Amino acid sequence: MTPTTATATATSPRTKSPVARIKRRQSLIHSALAPCMTCQPPTHSLDTLDISSASATAAFASLHFHVLSCLADIEASLSQLESPLPDFDFGQAISRGELKVEEVRAWAKDGLEMLRQIKGELRSHLPDFTLDSTSVESYVSSRLHDLSDVSTLKRMTSRFPDFPRLPRPEQYLLTLSNHLKSLHSHLSSSDTLSHVAFPSFPSTVKLSELIDAMISSDRVPAVLRPRSLSQTEDALGKATAEVARAVERSVHGAKLITYGDLPTEWRNNPFVTHGYRFIPLSKWPLIIASVFALHNETLNIHTHLVPLLLWTGNVILTFLGSSLSSASAAVVDTPILAFTIFALFTLFSSVVWHTMAGCAHHKGMVLCAKIDYVGIAWLISGSVGTIVYYGFQCNTNMRRIFLLICLINGLVGTVIPFWDWFNRSENKKWRIITFLSMTILITLGPLTQLALLHSVQETAAFIRPVVPSLTSYVAGLLFYATRFPECGGSHALWHIFIVRAISLHRDALPVLKDGVLGATTGVCPLLPS
């Protein structure tokens, strides 16, 4: 070996380029990460947890072990990325500018915070050892003879109102499942990060699916039906968990979710399976912005929003024109103006409801649905009211009576939607029957009276201009009732027919203004007042 060769050999470890040292460190990091990221969550089989109907506590303890084992593997890997190491290379991802070390560390830090929060809650809610509750009660009662009449913990706590409520594992399962899904969403939020930093990425979703299977299993009835909780508390807890899960899956309103992701109270149309919003009320700007976004309610909103804006603008221009014109200009007819206002209110309430249908605040969503029904009631009353006003021009007393009935009908239609049963999805047919009954009841009386005062032929000729409007209402109602074709947006078709019916009725009013006898006589016959 020559001196030159010996010198090169001796100094080569100290003269390696920085790039070579960084690549060497990268390979070391990846070799360290790979063994840690071999967390293999249990399969969906409940046999993995060794669950028996006799001991739910054992199931919780086994689940506690499985979850902590998987989280420990993930934490070990994330901790290496978060540690203050010199900047290392992530291959082509960094060279293309797709990835930065700071992003990796921030991503790892957020993941660690979520993970450690889950571990802290897990230790406080799920048992880490198996102990049969029956044996505990027997042991305590055998040694505390003075409290022999207190056979259960529930009875004992009832004697001590200030006794703290102990954590119950069954109440935490849904929360744990949602937390694991949120952690998985964070870890897989960036394909570049997850594939480059974690070549063998674990699936925490499988753990959450195992928990869901455990909740729905009849092999752990104590989990499903804890004897210490009332059915009301169970339902409330389930509803709260469903809302929390839907908010998480929608990323707090930023993404659309499926029908299956919706909480039970938000499900009213199983034929539309995708494109649902679920936006917290605190993010109300997102709710407003969603009016102009694509989702399952887009057509339902704009089929009423567009005519609402056009007709509102027309009303404003009409009033401005009247105020700027001469005193001899024609004044807007009161029945036409009243009907237009009722129609605009119906369209406005519909737009508000379909916008708020994507709100995660249940009371706010239900309130807007009820207001939508109120708008329909007043549209019915306003439509029939125009027929009454023009049909009884020669009999003012009868006109006042039937207009009062229309007013009462509108008030009744304002109250009924606020009954709890009315807005339930299973009562849709009763809502249809209610509105049809209201329409028939307030229409049958005036038409019968007109036929008695004049004749059936004259009455039929008087209402003939509104028949096209009535036909459009009926056609729209068929789409609403049958939900056909729902995949093509039958509710939007119902909206289109309603808008068409309003327009046709509005066009018929100048003809109705001539009255039952038409414009031929110009005078009222001698009729009883």
Give the sign of the dihedral formed by CA 168, CA 174, CA 177, CA 178: negative
Q: How wide is the angle at C-alpha 229 spanned by C-alphas 126 and 63, nearest 5°?
A: 20
Q: What are the residue ranges of helices labelled H in 92-132?
A: 92-95, 101-125
Residue-wise DSSP of 428-465: HHHHHHHHHHHHHHHHHHHHHHHHHHS-HHHHHHHHGG
485 prior amide bond cis, ω within 30:
yes
- Of 370, 388, 499, 520, the C-alpha closest to 453 is 388
Instruction: For residue 12, give both structure tokens.
Output: 């080569």
Residue 246 host element (H or E): helix 231-249
- Is 362 one of the annotated binding-site residues? no
- Of 400, 390, 393, the C-alpha closest to 527 is 393
DSSP 55: B
Amino acid symbol at 176: L
Q: At what angle do helices 56-82 and 18-36 cross, to 10 degrees?
A: 180
Q: Report in angstroms the alpha-carbon separations of 37 from 89, 114, 209.
A: 20, 17, 20
- For residue 298, with 0-12 CB atoms within 10 Å meaning exposed, 13-18 middle and 19 or more buried, which class applies? middle
Residue 115's CB is within 10 A of a number of other CB atoms, namely 22
d(CA 6, CA 14): 14
Residue 502's CB is within 10 A of a number of other CB atoms, namely 25
- How remote is the C-alpha of 327 from its chain's centroid? 53
Which residues are CB-contacts of 361 (< 8 A; sequence separation ≥ 6)? 280, 281
Residue 58 host element (H or E): helix 56-82
502-508: long-range contacts, CB 8 A cutoff, minimum separation 24? 502/307, 502/343, 502/346, 502/347, 502/379, 502/469, 503/307, 504/466, 504/468, 504/469, 504/472, 505/339, 505/383, 505/386, 505/466, 505/469, 506/336, 506/339, 506/340, 506/343, 508/465, 508/466, 508/468, 508/469
- Is 274 one of the annotated binding-site residues? no
- Is 354 one of the annotated binding-site residues? yes
Q: Are 379 and 342 in contact (CB under 8 A)?
A: yes
Q: What are phi and psi of 359, to 5 degrees?
A: -90, 140
Which residues are CB-contacts of 467 (< 8 A; sequence separation ≥ 6)? none
Binding residues are 354, 491, 495
Question: Which residues are documented as binding site for Zn(2+)?
Answer: 354, 491, 495
